[in-house]
């Protein structure tokens, strides 16, 4: 089969492309501003990439056009379509489908799907679970919205392990909508036998009016899990309790709360895992923060459902290397460590900074450099939560380009510790004016952030080489 993917450079669609290529299909694709790292990965796989969405691409005559959710029926200021290729597909009655639906029909069919859903921690927990299964010799397939450092790729098909009835596939299960013609959450297509509900709070204000609307989508996910399946749910989350109360027809295993099936005792970097109150393993690793401890419990409980003993899972996590862009150390200059993190929601920012504070202590300063880039943050829906989110930062620097709301006003509760800049060079200058030896800088964005990490490292080297 020849598939042509619209929006191929996104992490999800790029993963679909890699899986299709590995399965032997011919894959081509297009995107606006074809960009690395996904463009590099795809070209390395021999996948032809086309810049833009011109209608002439229908001449490729693929068997199926696979449409990413970046595509819409939007019009430009002059009235012309933003995505001419999509208009040509519709006009000519050519076959098209969404990425999640193609994946469900051509990859997930016949596999034991382990899906990891939640507002936060999906990528990390999916990567943990895939690594646990890999360490146990189960050779899982996976699709992750990032690059797990243990694997070096975001997706692979996997294989059937000895003794397994069907191949395992671990997937990051996003609640965002599927495509402009399918407004259901992506995860409804995956039909998991093991479903992880990691946490749940309001997000995606561009498509969901309130938390109840997202809870309804999570309930739809539960309706697809068979009675022989397992739902692994965070026992600390009231929103998930409401979702389960609406109906659950599968085995439920909880984690996190004092009365949960899976709990933890000890500091976040070295803790005991308890199952039904009995110690079943020890985790000692380089990750920090309560959020990662909870992610670990979720992955351990999910792995147990496919036969991996908790002790084996705990041992595997000692070698877990995290995910690219999850507190990834990009460089150190004059004792100043610079990290890159994907945090793009107030709770994620708060969680990242809390974990960093626990790791480095109270004596070192934290400089938080962030941009409100997600659709929810751009709308300003959660701007009032930013001072709370940045509580552990000694200084906060906000990149304000593209915002329709006043970030300086939102950061007023931080006083002189909250600074704003509408361009990257000014942001770098502000950080350079404030930074001191042995500070810790953490850059937070769900995008490329204009290459600010590289610019900051270069500026640090220049400033401190002269001293």
Residue closest to 450 by CA, chosen among 414, 413, 416, 424: 424
> What's the pLDDT score for residue 37?
67
> What's the pLDDT score for residue 380?
83
How large a percentage of the chain has pLDDT more than 90?
76
Q: Which residues, at least 6 apart from 215, have a Cβ–Cβ distance to it below 8 Å?
A: 200, 239, 242, 243, 246
> What's the pLDDT score for residue 431?
94
- The mean pLDDT values, 10 residues at a time, for the chain of 467 residues are 95 93 96 77 89 97 97 96 98 98 96 96 95 97 92 92 88 95 96 97 86 96 98 96 97 95 94 96 90 96 97 96 84 93 84 88 93 80 90 94 90 93 94 94 88 92 79
Tell me the CATH architecture of domain 328-465.
Alpha-Beta Complex (3.90)
**Residue 122, annotated as binding a ligand:** yes
**Is 306 in contact with 130 (CB distance < 8 Å)?**
no
pTM of the complete model:
0.85
> What's the pLDDT score for residue 375?
74
**Residue 120, annotated as binding a ligand:** yes
Residue closest to 183 by CA, chosen among 152, 155, 156, 217: 217
- Tell the burial category of 459 from Cβ atoms under 10 Å away from its Cβ (0-12, 13-18, 19+): middle
Enumerate the β-bridge partners of residue 264: 273
> What's the pLDDT score for residue 466?
59
Tokens at residue 12, please?
A: 């999800």
Residue closest to 357 by CA, chosen among 392, 406, 330, 382: 392
> What's the pLDDT score for residue 36?
65
> What's the pLDDT score for residue 35?
64
Residue closest to 179 by CA, chosen among 68, 95, 31: 68
Tell me the CATH architecture of domain 110-317.
3-Layer(aba) Sandwich (3.40)
Tell me which fold the domain 2-98 belongs to: Rossmann fold (3.40.50)
> What's the pLDDT score for residue 15?
93
Question: Mapped to the 3 state alphabet, what secondary structure does the chain carry?
Answer: CEEEEECCCCHHHHHHHHHHHHCCCEEEEEECCCCCCHHHHHHHCCCEEEECCCHHHHHHCCCEEEECCCCCCCECCCCCECCHHHHHHHHHCCCEEEHHHHHHHHHHCCCEEEEEECCCCHHHHHHHHHHHHHHCCCCCEEECCCCECCCCCCEECCCCCCCCCCCEEEEECCCCEEECCEEEEHHHHCCCCEEEECCCCCCCCCCCCCHHHHHHHHHHHHCCCCCCCEEEEECCCHHHHHHHHCCCCCEEEEECCCCCCEEEECCCCEEEEEECCEEEEEEECCCCCHHHHHHHHHHHHHHHHCCCCHHHHHHHHCCCCCECCCCEEEEEECCEEEEEECCCCHHHHHHHHHHHHHHHCCCCCEEEEECCCCHHHHCCCCHHHHHHHCCCCCEEEEECCCCCCCHHHHCHHHHHHEEEECCHHHHHHHHHHHCCCCCEEEEECCCCHHHHHHHHHHHHHHHHHCC
**Residue 383, annotated as binding a ligand:** no
> What's the pLDDT score for residue 217?
96
Residue closest to 370 by CA, chosen among 455, 447, 440, 444: 444
**Residue 124, annotated as binding a ligand:** yes
Tokens at residue 94, please?
A: 């050519």
> What's the pLDDT score for residue 183?
94
User: Where in the chain are the domains?
Assistant: 2-98, 110-317, 328-465
């Amino acid at each position: 089969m020849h598939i042509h993917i619209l929006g191929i450079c996104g992490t999800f669609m790029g993963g679909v492309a890699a899986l299709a290529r590995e399965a032997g299909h011919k894959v081509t694709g297009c995107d606006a501003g074809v960009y690395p790292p996904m463009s590099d990965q795809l070209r390395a796989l021999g996948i032809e990439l086309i810049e833009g969405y011109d209608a002439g691409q229908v001449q490729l005559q693929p068997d199926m056009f696979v449409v990413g959710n970046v595509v819409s029926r939007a019009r430009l200021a002059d009235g012309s379509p933003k995505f001419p290729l999509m208009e040509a597909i519709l006009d000519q009655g050519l076959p098209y489908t969404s990425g999640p639906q193609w994946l469900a029909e051509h990859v997930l069919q016949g596999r034991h799907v382990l899906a990891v859903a939640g507002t936060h921690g999906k990528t990390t927990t999916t990567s943990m679970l895939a690594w646990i299964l890999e360490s146990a010799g189960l050779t899982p397939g996976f699709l992750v919205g990032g690059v797990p450092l243990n694997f070096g790729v975001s997706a692979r098909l996997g294989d059937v392990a000895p003794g397994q009835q069907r191949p395992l596939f671990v997937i990051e299960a996003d609640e965002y909508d599927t495509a402009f013609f399918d407004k259901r959450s992506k995860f409804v297509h995956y039909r998991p036998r093991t479903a992880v509900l990691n946490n749940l709070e309001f997000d995606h204000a561009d498509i969901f009016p309130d938390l109840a609307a997202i809870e309804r989508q999570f309930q739809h996910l539960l309706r697809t899990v068979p009675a022989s399946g397992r739902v692994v749910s965070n026992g600390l989350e009231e929103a998930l309790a409401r979702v389960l109360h609406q109906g659950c027809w599968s085995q439920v295993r909880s984690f996190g709360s004092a009365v949960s099936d899976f709990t933890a005792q000890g500091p976040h970097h070295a803790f005991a895992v308890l199952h039904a109150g009995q110690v079943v393993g020890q985790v000692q690793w380089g990750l920090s923060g309560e959020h990662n401890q909870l992610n670990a419990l979720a992955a351990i409980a999910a792995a147990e459902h496919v036969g991996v003993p908790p002790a084996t899972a705990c041992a595997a996590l000692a070698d877990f290397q995290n995910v690219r862009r999850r507190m990834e150390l990009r460089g150190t200059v004059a004792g100043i460590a610079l990290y890159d993190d994907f945090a793009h929601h107030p709770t994620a920012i708060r969680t990242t900074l809390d974990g960093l504070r626990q790791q480095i202590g109270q004596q070192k300063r934290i400089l938080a450099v962030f941009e409100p880039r997600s659709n929810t943050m751009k709308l300003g829906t959660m701007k009032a939560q930013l001072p709370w989110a940045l509580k552990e930062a000694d200084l906060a620097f906000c990149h304000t380009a593209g915002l329709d709301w006043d970030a300086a006003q939102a950061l007023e509760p931080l006083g002189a510790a909250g600074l704003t800049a509408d361009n990257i060079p000014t942001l770098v200058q502000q950080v350079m004016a404030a930074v001191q030896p042995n500070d810790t800088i953490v850059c937070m964005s769900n995008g490329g952030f204009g290459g600010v990490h590289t610019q900051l490292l270069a500026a640090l080297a220049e400033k401190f080489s002269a001293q």
